């Protein structure tokens, strides 16, 4: 790899041994993927994936301690994924002990490390850092060092920023040296589509189900999606962005998609159209039957498959302000139709702290609370990562949460029926 | 017996029993419970991977196309190596992905000690993954040659 004099000097130890190892990590990471050079990170903020003070991550804390002690700190501040615990989210006595005394006993310590390393502010904990309310929204063409699969795919696809699917730890190391290797999704060639996905459904496809189907089919490749603009329109308004947020998270977690193009909608596709499609691109046709096949393929991991749900999580990735408002109307109307006053299953909607703050300024917040729905900043995935939740029948419309936990997937409409009318 | 040649990502020689995943390895989903709850066998917890679910990964020659899923993946691999719960080696049929690649490089640069080592070979080709079966014996050589015996 070609290195500038400054980069080579750092690698040679001009800024100390630890900084040299940080640079070595970034250079070797790039060389593995054929990067010929490093390019500057140009975004104002970084975003890290590791937000949880899990006791088992001792090796990460040791490494971060070394960075802090040796002054290998980034000039960029950063947001980070959601906190794993929130006292407002229902849990029993044993779960409380497991969460706070065993699993996440290092949370306070780790948050202290994050502050030393450059956390934006005390509430910068969300997977949806690109929300206007949070303020970590890169501009088109900016080069990022982000991790968090759902944020990376959103930044690349919806915002037109440039970022690879970076792993935790590499995310902060690239930011510390201020450069990322030039390969993959930060290059023009790497952003070309090797799949064409044709949407031929008779109704608007469920975002999380469509994303899952595409992710499992194309894996790490870039799909160019035709026919979705019929359902989403050609403007990236709040509704379209919310849809693409959930869709993208499913492509990234059920597969390894880091970038997708939606014809006539997402920035690269609007600019370049079918020039983005490679000559030998494969074709995947999605109709109603294909979505049903994918839905039916999900294993149900509950011990008792007919159990009555004990908890419902919505918001993985975190919900937008628009989504919280829309769901307030939906839940209210659903309860009214069924003659119920409060949700029949304990239900948690999750969103970024800054989004929750704005939501609470609106009349919707009190209405949603009156329906019995809890709004939380928690990471549902981290909440469910314990043996007790494995026995707990949790429902969700998040395909990411389904993938990583024993939560059972239902479509948005099915979730609404379950929480407002009951039955499963 | 059949030989395959790939690219050396992390060097080393090892002989181990094959554990084969025909789908992508979801690193977080596969390792998280093992790391959290002290499972030294690193039993795979990924419900969506029927090839690996509930199989011991520690000490096995893990044969796979690539890794998928959460971007904590590389960090999880780094922790698995640091805690000595990693597979004996990882053998990729495709070029290694950015998450696994980061984890392997981080472990190689920052960790010391033989018990943290994990040879990694990639680009072994689709033929490799079609040929190798769980339970076969794998020998990894320094130059990226992988010998599969059944």
Helical H segments across A183-233, by residue range: 207-218, 229-232
Predicted local distance difference test score (pLDDT) of residue A54: 86
Average pLDDT, chain A: 95
DSSP A43: S
Taking only the tens place, the pLDDT of each residue in A56-96 is: 889 999 999 999 999 999 999 999 999 999 999 988 888 88
What dihedral do alpha carbons B115, B11, B45, B149 form, nearest 10°?
-110
- Nearest residue, CB atoms, B68 vs list A50, A59, A255: A255
Predicted local distance difference test score (pLDDT) of residue A423: 64
pTM score over 0.80: yes
Domains of chain A, CATH where assigned? 5-186 (3.30.499), 190-292 (no CATH), 311-420 (3.30.499.10)
Q: A167 CB near a chain B CB, below 8 Å?
A: yes
Helix (H, G, I), strand (E, B) or coil at A91: coil
Q: Are A344 and A419 in contact (CB under 8 A)?
A: yes
For chain B (150 residues), the mean pLDDT of every run of 10, in chain order, is: 97 97 91 85 90 97 92 94 96 96 96 92 98 98 96
What residues in chain A have per-residue pLDDT under 70? 387, 423-424
Q: A166 CB near a chain B CB, below 8 Å?
A: yes
Write out the two tokens for B78.
């780094």
CB atoms under 10 Å from CB of A232, counted, come to 21
Count of A–B CB contacts within 8 Å? 128
Nearest-by-CA chain A residue for B103: A167
* Cα separations in angstroms, B94 against A213, B9, B144: 21, 12, 14
Question: Contacts of residue B66 in chain A, CB cutoff 8 Å?
Answer: 219-220, 256
Predicted local distance difference test score (pLDDT) of residue A151: 98
Predicted local distance difference test score (pLDDT) of residue A95: 81
- Nearest residue, CB atoms, B47 vs list A252, A253, A301: A301
H or E, element range at A292: helix A288-297
Predicted local distance difference test score (pLDDT) of residue B16: 98
Could B102 and A166 be called an inter-chain contact, meaning their C-beta atoms sit closer than 8 Å? Answer: yes
Q: Residues near A237 by Cβ (< 8 Å), separated by ≥ 6?
A: none
Write out the two tokens for B116.
């943290």
Taking only the tens place, the pLDDT of each residue in A236-260 is: 999 999 999 999 999 999 999 999 9
Could A147 and B83 be called an inter-chain contact, meaning their C-beta atoms sit closer than 8 Å? Answer: no
Taking only the tens place, the pLDDT of each residue in A161-212 is: 999 999 999 999 999 999 999 999 999 999 999 999 999 999 999 999 999 9
Could A168 and B74 be called an inter-chain contact, meaning their C-beta atoms sit closer than 8 Å? Answer: yes
β-strand pairing of B61-64 with A347-351: unpaired
CA–CA distance, A317 with A126 (Å, rounded to integer): 9
Closest CA to A281 of A261, A299, A266, A297: A261
């Amino acid at each position: 790899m070609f290195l500038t004099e400054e980069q080579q000097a750092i690698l040679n130890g001009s800024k100390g041994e630890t900084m040299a190892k940080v640079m070595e990590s970034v250079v070797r990471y790039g060389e593995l993927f054929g990067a010929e050079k490093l390019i500057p990170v140009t975004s104002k903020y970084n975003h890290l994936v590791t937000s949880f003070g899990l006791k088992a991550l001792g090796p990460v804390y040791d490494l971060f301690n070394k960075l802090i002690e040796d002054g290998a700190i980034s000039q960029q501040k950063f947001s980070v994924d959601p906190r794993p615990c929130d006292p407002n989210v229902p849990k029993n006595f044993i779960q409380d002990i497991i969460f706070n005394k065993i699993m996440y006993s290092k949370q306070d310590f780790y948050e202290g490390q994050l502050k030393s390393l450059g956390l934006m502010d005390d509430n910068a904990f969300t997977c949806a850092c690109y929300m206007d309310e949070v303020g970590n929204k890169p501009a088109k063409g900016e080069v990022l060092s982000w991790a968090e699969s759902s944020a990376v795919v959103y930044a690349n696809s919806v915002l037109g920023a440039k970022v690879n699917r970076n792993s935790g730890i590499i995310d902060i190391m690239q930011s510390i040296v201020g450069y990322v290797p030039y390969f993959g999704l930060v290059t023009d060639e790497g952003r070309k589509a090797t799949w064409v996905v044709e949407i031929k459904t008779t109704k608007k496809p469920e975002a999380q189900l469509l994303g899952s189907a595409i992710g499992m089919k194309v894996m790490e490749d870039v799909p160019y999606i035709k026919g979705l603009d019929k359902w989403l329109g050609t403007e990236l308004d709040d509704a379209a962005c919310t849809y693409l947020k959930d869709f993208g998270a499913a492509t990234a977690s059920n597969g390894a998609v880091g970038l997708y193009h939606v014809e006539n909608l997402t920035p690269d596709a609007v600019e370049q159209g079918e020039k983005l499609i490679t000559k030998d691109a494969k074709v995947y046709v999605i109709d109603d039957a294909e979505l049903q096949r994918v839905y039916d393929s999900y294993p149900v991991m509950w011990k008792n498959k007919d159990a009555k749900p004990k908890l419902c999580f919505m918001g993985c990735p975190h919900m937008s302000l628009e989504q919280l408002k829309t769901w307030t109307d939906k839940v209210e109307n659903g309860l009214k139709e069924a003659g119920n006053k409060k949700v029949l299953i304990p239900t948690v909607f999750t969103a970024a702290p800054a989004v929750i703050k704005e939501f609470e300024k609106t009349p919707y917040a009190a209405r949603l609370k009156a329906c019995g729905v809890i709004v939380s900043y928690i990471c549902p995935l981290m909440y469910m990562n314990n043996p007790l939740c494995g026995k707990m029948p949790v429902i969700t419309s998040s395909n990411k949460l389904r993938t990583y936990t024993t939560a059972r997937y239902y479509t948005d409409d099915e979730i609404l029926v379950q929480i407002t009318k009951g039955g499963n | 017996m059949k030989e395959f040649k790939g690219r050396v990502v992390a060097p080393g020689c090892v002989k181990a029993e094959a554990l084969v995943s025909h789908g992508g390895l979801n690193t977080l989903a596969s390792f998280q419970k093992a790391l959290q709850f002290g499972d030294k066998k690193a039993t795979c917890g990924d419900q969506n991977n029927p090839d690996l679910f509930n199989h011991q990964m520690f000490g096995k020659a893990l044969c796979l196309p690539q890794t998928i899923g959460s971007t904590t993946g590389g960090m999880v691999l780094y922790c698995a190596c640091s805690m000595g719960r990693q597979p004996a080696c990882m053998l990729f049929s495709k070029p290694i992905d950015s998450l696994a690649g980061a984890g392997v490089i981080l472990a190689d640069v920052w960790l010391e000690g033989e018990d943290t080592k994990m040879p990694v070979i990639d680009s072994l080709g689709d033929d490799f993954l079609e040929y190798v079966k769980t339970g076969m014996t794998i020998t990894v050589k320094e130059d990226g040659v992988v010998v599969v015996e059944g």
